[in-house]
């Protein structure tokens, strides 16, 4: 059984790790968590993101947004690399998540086929 | 929605939108009374009397992005189809409590589904919100309280990868133990 004791031990290793890393400058991933997004599969997309992040041992900042009025294109997943525009991917499946993470988040190449919107750098936030 | 755990994820989003920083989830599966209840309590901004009155109406929302609110009315319909009901109590400036009750054995009751996925999603996406999850199954309890976890972590973010892995196992084992090997 997992215990808090184990968590305490984990904390000690992580505290040393943390000194080396800094949250700004991470790629940002944003998942739509409105009712429409959840009904369309946002939770499964989110789980695929968590799995990819863990398997590939990358550091990203993951956050959520509510309904943005593109319900028919949910699940939506945005990627924003530091200093770059924000790209919105639509109808994302857990399978697509792997391509988005590998191609875009890791290698900086937008997965054009899945793009449904883009926001240039500096526009909105 | 296909699963009660998806409704739960959606209902908690309302608490997050209402700027709650403490959200309590209580699930009770009671076989003796053939009753399943899901309750979400938050300390968000609450609802005025008039909002509270119209909130079960599928065409009501205070959101600006789409003209219909769906979450609560879908959850209410699901409970009502399953021999139960949905009750909302709310006080402006204090908080809100949403409780859905289902007849456990009702043929139209959706399965619980992936509770672990719902909980992890909520915690990872909202690291600053405190979440207390209490699940009672036939008299046995499983509790996860992010305040307690954060105390242990002493400044390490709760959504750090290895911490998430730990929580994933913790929740999985806790729920499995609760069900005593019984799979829905
Ligand atoms: N926990 C809550 N705290 C405050 N207001 C709430 C809460 N839950 C629901 N509401 C109000 O009820 C409305 C309808 O909610 P819902 O049916 O989930 O639709 P939506 O979230 O799409 O607006 C919300 O827009 C909000 O005004
Ligand atoms: Mg809602």
Assigned domain for B43 exists: yes
Judge whether B184 lies within some domain: no
**Residue B2 zone, left/alpha/beta (φ > 0; ψ -120 to 50; rest):** alpha
**Which one of B7, B13, B55, B129 would you pick to mutate in the ligand 1 pocket, going by the greatest count of ligand atoms within 8 A of its CB?**
B55
Contacts of A48 in chain B (CB under 8 A): none
Per cent of chain B over pLDDT 90 is 79
pLDDT at B61: 63
Contacts of B159 (CB under 8 A, 6+ apart): A62, B123, B124, B125, B127
Q: Which residue has tokens 């949910």?
A: A74
User: Regarding predicted confidence, which is higher, B9 or A122?
Assistant: B9
pLDDT at B53: 81
B183 confidence band (pLDDT: 50, 70, 90): very low
The residue whose C-alpha atom lies closest to atom 12 belonging to ligand 1 is B55
Q: Render pLDDT for B33-62 as a digit per residue (tens, 0 to 9).
A: 999 999 999 999 999 988 888 886 665 666
Q: A24-119 architecture in CATH? A: 3-Layer(aba) Sandwich (3.40)
**Domains held by chain B: number:** 1
Strand-pair category, A61-65 with A28-32 = parallel
Question: Which residue range is the domain that position B74 belongs to?
Answer: 4-178
Residue B183 lies inside a defined structural domain of this protein? no
Q: Name the residue ranges covered by the structural domains of chain A.
A: 24-119
Residues of A in contact with B124 (CB under 8 A): 46, 50, 62
- Would strands B130-137 and B22-30 be described as parallel, antiparallel, or unpaired? parallel
Crossing angle for the helix pair B115-125 and A42-55, to the nearest 10 degrees: 70
Query: How do strand B140-145 and strand B130-137 relate by DSSP bridges?
Result: antiparallel
C-alpha B176, offset from chain centre: 19
pLDDT in tens, chain A (125 residues): 678 888 888 888 887 666 555 566 899 999 999 999 999 999 999 999 999 999 999 999 999 999 888 999 999 999 999 999 999 999 999 999 999 999 999 999 999 999 999 988 766 54
Question: Is the confidence at residue B73, as pLDDT, over 90?
Answer: no
Instruction: Report pLDDT for B68.
Output: 52
Give the pLDDT confidence score for residue B66 in this predicted structure. 54
pLDDT score of B127 more than 60 = yes
Chain A contact set for B13 (CB, 8 A): 33-35, 38, 66
**Is B80 within a domain?**
yes
Asked if B65 and A66 come within 8 Å (Cβ–Cβ), the reply is yes
- Residue window 64-103, chain A: list those with CB within 8 Å of chain B: 64, 66-69, 71
Q: pTM of this prediction?
A: 0.93
| CATH classification at residue B12 | 3.30.565.10
Q: Which pLDDT belongs to residue B180? A: 85
């Amino acid at each position: 059984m997992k215990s808090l004791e184990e968590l305490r031990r984990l904390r000690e290793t992580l505290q040393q790790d943390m000194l080396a890393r800094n949250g700004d400058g991470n790629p940002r991933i944003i998942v739509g968590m409105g009712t429409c997004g959840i009904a369309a599969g946002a939770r499964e997309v989110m789980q695929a993101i968590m799995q990819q992040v863990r398997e590939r041992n990358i550091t990203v900042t993951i956050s959520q947004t509510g309904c943005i009025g593109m319900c028919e294109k949910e699940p939506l997943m945005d990627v924003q690399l530091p200093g770059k525009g924000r790209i919105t991917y639509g109808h994302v499946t857990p399978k697509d998540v792997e391509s988005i993470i590998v191609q875009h988040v890791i290698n900086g190449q937008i997965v054009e086929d899945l793009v449904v919107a883009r926001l240039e750098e500096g526009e909105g936030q | 929605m296909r699963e009660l755990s998806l409704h739960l994820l959606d209902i908690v989003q309302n608490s997050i939108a209402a700027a709650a920083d403490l959200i309590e989830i209580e699930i009770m599966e009671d076989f003796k009374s053939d009753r399943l209840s899901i309750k979400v309590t938050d300390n968000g901004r609450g609802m005025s009397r008039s909002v509270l009155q119209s909130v079960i109406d599928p065409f009501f929302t205070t959101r600006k992005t789409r003209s219909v609110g769906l979450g609560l009315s879908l959850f209410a319909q699901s409970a009502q189809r399953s021999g139960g009901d949905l009750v909302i109590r709310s006080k402006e400036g204090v908080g809100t409590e949403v409780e859905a009750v289902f007849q456990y054995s009702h043929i139209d009751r959706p399965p619980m589904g992936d509770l672990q996925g719902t909980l992890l999603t909520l915690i990872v996406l909202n690291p600053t919100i405190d979440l207390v999850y209490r699940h009672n199954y036939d008299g046995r309890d499983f509790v996860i309280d992010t305040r307690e976890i954060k105390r242990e972590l002493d400044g390490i973010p709760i959504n750090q990868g290895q911490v998430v892995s730990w929580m994933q196992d913790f929740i999985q084992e806790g729920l499995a133990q609760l069900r005593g090997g019984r799979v829905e």
